[in-house]
Copies of this chain bind each other. A is one copy, B any other.
Amino acid sequence: MSDVFDIIRFNDQGLVTAIAQQHDTGEVLMLAWMNREAIEETLATGRVCYFSRSRNGLWRKGETSGQVQTLIELRVDCDGDALLVLVDQPGVACHTGRRSCFYRAMGKDGTVTTLTEPLIDPHTLYGS
């Protein structure tokens, strides 16, 4: 068996992409980024922690919104530059109050259609 950090290839900002997928339904919930510290914390605590590029710091998912993700399994891809985070996500993953961030579909003509509406008012998630 190899060590995780021998395999993961971080980009020049020290980050790797991380796809969050609901472990039982297969829903792809969101795409975010992790640095080494976020991976270590996620593995150690079993609560998923990302790296926020906009806030330039660790982002413990659910810290503000309450929509915590519990780690089921962390996987790494063939060339080590992407992670698949199998999670248990009750409630919603998206800051818009939707279950998944991928709620818009593109038509062949380039138009965009909204597939789902928010389950929770975003003001409830983050305060008004």
In residues 76-128 of chain A, which contact B (Cβ within 8 Å)?
A: 76-79, 82, 84, 94-96, 98, 101-108, 110-113, 115
- Which residues in B have their C-beta under 8 angstroms from that of A79? 101
The distance from the CB of A82 to the nearest CB of chain B, in whole angstroms, is 4
Is A58 engaged at the interface, CB distance under 8 Å to the other chain?
Answer: no
Is A27 engaged at the interface, CB distance under 8 Å to the other chain?
Answer: yes
- Evaluate contact between B112 and A1: CB separation under 8 angstroms: yes
A94 closest partner in B (C-beta): B78
A residues neighboring B (CB under 8 Å):
1-5, 7, 17, 19, 21, 25-28, 30-31, 43-44, 73-79, 82, 84, 94-96, 98, 101-108, 110-113, 115
Task: Apart from A31-B82, A43-B108, A78-B98, list 11 A-B contacts with CB within 8 A.
Answer: A1-B112, A4-B110, A4-B111, A74-B106, A75-B104, A76-B104, A77-B101, A77-B104, A78-B101, A79-B101, A82-B102
